[in-house]
Amino acid sequence: MSNLHQFANPTRFLKMSSTLLPWVGALTGFLLVYGFWQALFVSPPDYQMGEAVRIMYVHVPSAYMGMLVYGSMAFASAIALIWKHPLADIAAKCSAPIGVAFTGLALATGMLWGQPMWGTFWVWDARLTSVLLLFFIYLGYIGLWLTIEDTSRASRAAAILALVGSVNLPIIHYSVEWWNTLHQPASLLRLDGPTIDPGMLPALLSLIVGYTTFYITILLWRMQKELIVRKIRALQILRSNQ
C-alpha cells in the first residue's frame, strides 16, 4: 500500500497525470484509428452475418470495458473504504459515467447484433439481463453521488454499492456457461486459443486495447477536473467561514 499512498498527494497526482495524458491520448488515437481501419476495410465478412459482423468491433470492446471499468470502480471503492486513500473515491466516481456509457453502447450494439442473429432485438436471457442490471447499478451509483450532498457520506454509500454490485461481474462472465442462453460463449479469451477468424484479430485486439487506453485518458482528465472543483469548493467554504 505504500506505493499507492505515494500518489495520495493531489499535487503529485496532477503533475503525474499531466505528464501521462498526452502520451496516453496519442496512443489511444493511434489504436482507435488503426483498429477501425482494420475493422471497416481489412477484416473479412463473416460467413453467416456477412458485413453485419462489423458491429462486433464496437460491441465486444464496449462489453469488455463495461465490466473492466466496474471492476476498477469496485477495487478503488475497497481501497477508499479500507485504507482511506484520498484519491480512490475520486477515481471510482470519475469512472462511473465512462462505465455506464460503455455498458449502454454494449447493450445498444448487442440489440443491433441480435436482430440478424436471433431475429429479435432483445431476449431476457442471462447474459443480456445481467448486463442490463450492470447498467442500472452504474446509474444507481451515479445517483448516490448526485443526491447525497455530504461528500464523505456519498463516498461511503457509493463505495458500498460498488462492492455489492461487483457480485454481478462473475454472473455476467459465466452466465453463458451456467445457463442455457442465446448469447454465444467466449471466442477470444479461451484457454485453447481464439476461435474467431485470424483476419479479425488485429482489429478486435487493437480496439480492445484502444478502448482501455481511452478509458485511462478520460479517467485522468476527469480526476484532474474533480480535484480542481473540490479545491475551489474548499476555498469557498474557508472564505465563507472567515
Is pTM beyond 0.75? Reply is yes
The answer to whether residue 14 sits within a structural domain is no
* Residue type present at position 234: A
The answer to whether residue 189 sits within a structural domain is no
The answer to whether residue 221 sits within a structural domain is yes
Q: How confident is the model at residue 8 (pLDDT cuts 50, 70, 90)?
A: low
Q: How confident is the model at residue 4 (pLDDT cuts 50, 70, 90)?
A: low
The answer to whether residue 192 sits within a structural domain is no
The 10s digit of each residue's pLDDT in 47-65 is: 777 787 899 999 999 999 9
The answer to whether residue 10 sits within a structural domain is no
The pLDDT value given to residue 189 = 55
Q: How confident is the model at residue 70 (pLDDT cuts 50, 70, 90)?
A: very high
The answer to whether residue 43 sits within a structural domain is yes
138 touches 148 (CB < 8 A): no
In total, how many domains does the chain have? 1
Report whether pLDDT(191) > 50.
no
Could you tell me the residue range of the domain that residue 118 belongs to? 20-183+197-241
